[in-house]
Amino acid sequence: MDKSSSSEADRIIDKATLLYAELGFDGTTTDMIAESARVDKAALRRLFPSSGALYRAVLNREMEAQEAAAAEPMATLAPTRQALERLVDSYLDFNIKRPELMKLLQHRRTGDAADAADIEYQNLTPWLTWMTDKLHDAVPEPDYLEYLLWTIQWTIAGFFSHGVVYSDPLHQRPRGEPIPTAEVEEFREYLHYLMSRLFELPEDGVS
- Sign, Cα dihedral of 24, 26, 31, 37: positive
Residue 47: inside a domain:
yes
Q: Are 60 and 147 in contact (CB under 8 A)?
A: no
Q: How far apart are CA 30 and CA 34, in angstroms?
A: 6
Residue 204: inside a domain:
no
Helix (H, G, I), strand (E, B) or coil at 166: coil
- CATH number of the structural domain spanning residue 151: 1.10.357.10
Q: How confident is the model at residue 181 (pLDDT cuts 50, 70, 90)?
A: very high
Q: Higher-confidence residue: 175 or 103?
A: 103
The pTM of the whole model exceeds 0.95: no
Residue 118: inside a domain:
yes
Give residue 17's domain range.
8-199
Q: Are 89 and 83 in contact (CB under 8 A)?
A: no
Q: How confident is the model at residue 50 (pLDDT cuts 50, 70, 90)?
A: very high
One-letter amino acid for residue 110 of the chain: T
- For the residues 106-127, what does the mean pLDDT come to? 86
Residue 94: inside a domain:
yes
Residue 205: inside a domain:
no
Domain count, the chain: 1
Other Cβ atoms closer than 10 A to 39:
19
Residue 1: inside a domain:
no
177 pLDDT above the threshold of 80: no
Residue 2: inside a domain:
no
Segment 130-144, tens digit of pLDDT: 999 999 999 999 999
